[in-house]
């Protein structure tokens, strides 16, 4: 049980890092599209980073679901934070606006939730 919990926490932390890596790649993709002056609606969910960002969120929630029984409040916080990330992601694509301060706050929040589980 302890080993499974540690593996699950490791996987959650890894997936959390992947989400922000793919979000960074999406910024790069968006910047490339802007530099190329292509239609931004074409890139919506059509790049490597877009697909992997969304896939990583799904994987994170699936993995976090395994700890939901022991840590229901933290699971809900992780779920809420990933939903906020999705909204910010959509804003980046739709409005061409990137709020780095808020995104960094979400990253910090997610890491704090994972640490709470680790030390519980």
Q: Where are the chain's structural domains?
A: 2-118
46 band by pLDDT with thresholds 50, 70 and 90: low
Cβ count within 10 A of residue 28? 11
Q: Please give the angle made by the CA atoms of 17, 91 and 52, to the nearest 5 degrees.
A: 35
- Higher confidence at residue 34 or residue 95? 95
pTM of the model: 0.65
Task: State how far the Cα of 4 lies from the Cα of 9, in Å rounded to an integer.
Answer: 9
């Amino acid at each position: 049980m302890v080993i499974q919990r540690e593996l699950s926490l490791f996987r959650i932390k890894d997936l959390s890092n992947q989400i922000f890596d793919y979000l960074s790649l999406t910024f790069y993709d968006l910047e490339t599209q802007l530099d190329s002056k292509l239609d931004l609606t074409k890139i919506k969910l059509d790049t490597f980073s877009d697909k992997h960002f969304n896939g990583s969120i799904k994987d994170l929630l699936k993995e976090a679901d395994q700890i939901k029984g022991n840590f229901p409040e933290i699971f809900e916080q992780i779920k809420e934070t990933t939903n906020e990330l999705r909204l910010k992601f959509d804003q980046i694509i739709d409005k061409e606006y990137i709020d780095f301060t808020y995104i960094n706050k979400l990253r910090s929040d997610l890491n704090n939730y994972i640490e709470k589980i680790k030390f519980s």
